Chain A
Amino acid sequence: MLVRVTADELRADEAIAAVASPAAGAIDLFLGVVRDNNLGRRVGHLVYEAYPSMAEKVMAEIGAEAKERFGLEACAILHRTGRLEIGETSLLIAISSAHRASAFEGGRWLVDTIKKKVPVWKKEVWEDGEAWIEGPESLGMQQAPAGLTG
């Protein structure tokens, strides 16, 4: 399974090649890209930080679970770190499967689960400031008592 945390640009052709399989009738590709706004603020760029060794380990575990749950042929998960400009790809997932339904469902589950568990963080940089983002879907936010999540 191709799993990587890297400061280098993510390339879709590499991820597609990594999941190619004669048994696959579908390849699903997901790109998480940097957008120029969040919660009404204009975002200049993002800075991603990771706990690289653990992030790759958790991504491999999630990928193995997705293969099992959805009967996938293969999956590839790549996350970029460092400074990313608007429009650049921060997360790249490729999935191959015999049929399209499991590829779409597996892809959705993979992205959702990555956002919960993988130790990667993004900082938004605005014209007039910056802040580390706490993912609303992250496990840490889900354990917080009401009123302490802000």
Chain B
Amino acid sequence: MTVLLFASIAEAAGARRIELPVAAGDTVAAVRERLLADRPALRRFVPTLMYAVNEEYVRDDAAVPDGATLALIPPVSGG
């Protein structure tokens, strides 16, 4: 699966796109925790982070299908 990062969290991670293996039954939260295990500095973003799976907003208990794109979305500030 592919994880996309944007804006503040992308800068902090030094990456905009991270490929991760996905296991059967994985949730957004499970994927996030695997990602954070290697990058503890990103944990500060979690309280305000939103998630999208295949471009649809989801909660962190949503399933992540094989081959999905998970976007980590910090508070938006368009307009």
Q: Are the chains A and B members of one assembly?
A: yes
Closest to B45 in A: A140
- Contact at A122–B50, with CB atoms within 8 Å? no
Q: How far is the CB of A96 from chain B (nearest CB, A)?
A: 21
Closest to A79 in B: B78
Q: Which residues of A contact B79 (CB under 8 A)?
A: 32, 90-91, 111, 114-115, 120, 135
A141-B48 in contact given A114-B79, A117-B76 (Cβ < 8 Å) = yes
Within 8 A of A (CB), among B29-77: 47-50, 52, 55, 57, 71, 73-77
- Classify the interface of chain B: helix, strand, loop or mixed: mixed
A121-B76 in contact given A49-B7, A51-B71 (Cβ < 8 Å) = yes
A138-B77 in contact given A132-B11, A144-B48, A148-B47 (Cβ < 8 Å) = yes
- Contact at A134–B78, with CB atoms within 8 Å? no
Q: Which residues of A contact B71 (CB under 8 A)?
A: 51, 54, 119
B-facing mask of A97-110, CB < 8 A → 1, else 0? 00000000000000
- Contact at B6–A121, with CB atoms within 8 Å? yes
- Contact at B50–A121, with CB atoms within 8 Å? no
* Interface, chain A (partner B; CB < 8 A): 32, 48-51, 53-55, 57, 79, 90-91, 111, 114-123, 132-135, 138-141, 143-145, 148-149
